[in-house]
Amino acid sequence: MANIRERNGRWQARVTLDGQTISKTFTSKAIAQRWARQQQVDFERGLITPTRPTITLGDVIDRYLIEVTPQHRGAQQEKYILKVWRLHLLAKLPINEIKPSDVAAARDARLKVVSSGSVRREIDALSAVFSHACREWQLCDANPISSIRKPAPGRARDRRLLPGELGRVVAAGHKSPDLDAIIYLALETGMRRSELLCLYWRNINLKDRAAHLPITKNGDPRNVPLSREAVAVLERLPRNINGRVFSKNGTSLSDAFTRAVQRARREYEAECLEGGLEPDPKFLINLRLHDLRHEFTSRLIEGGFNLIEAAAVTGHRTLAMLKRYSHVRHAHLLTKLDSISPPVLEQNQPNSQGCEHNS
């Protein structure tokens, strides 16, 4: 495509060849037009090979964050992860020159800093960028991540609430609006952080004790049954003019919960010091907001829900994933085991029934 325009009494010809624009200025319009036509002819005959501008991985990530990420449900988390890659040395390399060994080296370096599960999520996010750049933008020939090994999934967390922890966290977080309500709802419904924060009053039916989730992490809508405690929590909340139940975003909620746990731990340690007691090394340590979903799921199983029923409540699509989220207490297993086990020792006591008598 050629474009001829006058600038300061001279004529500039601009020609776009294979996505790259070249230009030149002439004293007359006719000369400019002839030059432009000649460039197009030379390009078609293969006499001109335009040099493509260098496009780095960082350039592609920037474009991906603008054009693609906002369309994803997990946009906030993806944005955070890709900004980590944006600061990596890989971001300075031309995207079509990045080799699998380059990504493997970055993977191994990250494994020394964060968990394998975190690295796996980071690799998946970067892989999505490469795949989109190859398929949609034709900026590279292949996805280098498809040729490397991903870290194994991290071990499933088995953190359960200890007696007294929840009350202390709620008390320590009283300055954060709605934090107590969110904590109680997370424990009473098992909803994910994103699901809690996307609740709208129009999707809640307190009479039928149900909360409808039009969009969930796995893409399937579901109805969440509300316990009486959950209904009581919702009834106490004020109605926002925008129709949302909660106004927090994911980052502010997680930060508020973390601060509350840390504050509660400090208060607990101070009480132990004052009373001359040794603090429990596990109490209020390594407790995350998402652990409340684990706790809820585990309580469902302990309460007698079968796996199909539990999955219908929690929204897990596979029983394997449900298993990762349920950690039944050992004491509960012992109680159930005792309830179904017959008194073996009494059964084996000698008795006269079935004995033969000699006459």
282 Rama sector, left if φ>0, alpha if ψ -120 to 50, beta otherwise: alpha
Catalytic pick from 63, 217, 244, 259?
A: 217
Say whether 325 is catalytic.
yes
Beta strands across the sheet bearing 2-7: 2-7, 10-17, 20-26
Specify the amino acid at residue 89. L
Say whether 299 is catalytic.
no
Q: Can you name the residues that pair with 14 across neighbouring β-strands?
A: 3, 23
Q: Which long-range contacts (CB under 8 A, 24 or more apart) does 115-122 make?
A: 115/154, 116/151, 116/152, 116/153, 116/154, 117/151, 117/153, 117/154, 118/154, 119/151, 120/150, 120/151, 120/152, 120/153, 120/154, 121/81, 122/81, 122/84, 122/85
Catalytic pick from 107, 293, 294, 299?
A: 293
Cβ-Cβ contacts under 8 Å for 33 (sequence gap 6 or more): 2, 4, 13
Report the alpha-carbon distance of residue 238 to residue 317 in Å, rounded.
Answer: 33
Burial (0-12, 13-18, 19+ Cβ within 10 Å), 76: middle
Catalytic pick from 73, 290, 323, 324?
A: 290
Catalytic pick from 192, 193, 248, 327?
A: 192
Closest to 283 measured CA to CA, from 161, 108, 184: 161
Catalytic pick from 64, 184, 268, 325?
A: 325
CB 56 within 8 A of CB 93: yes
DSSP 8-class letter at 354 = T
Q: Can you name the residues that pair with 5 across neighbouring β-strands?
A: 12
Say whether 290 is catalytic.
yes
Say whether 14 is catalytic.
no
Cβ-Cβ contacts under 8 Å for 56 (sequence gap 6 or more): 91, 92, 93, 94, 95
Say whether 288 is catalytic.
no
Say whether 324 is catalytic.
no
Catalytic pick from 248, 294, 299, 316?
A: 316
Give CA angle at 93 (88, 99), nearest 5°. 95
Point out the residues that are catalytic: 192, 217, 290, 293, 316, 325
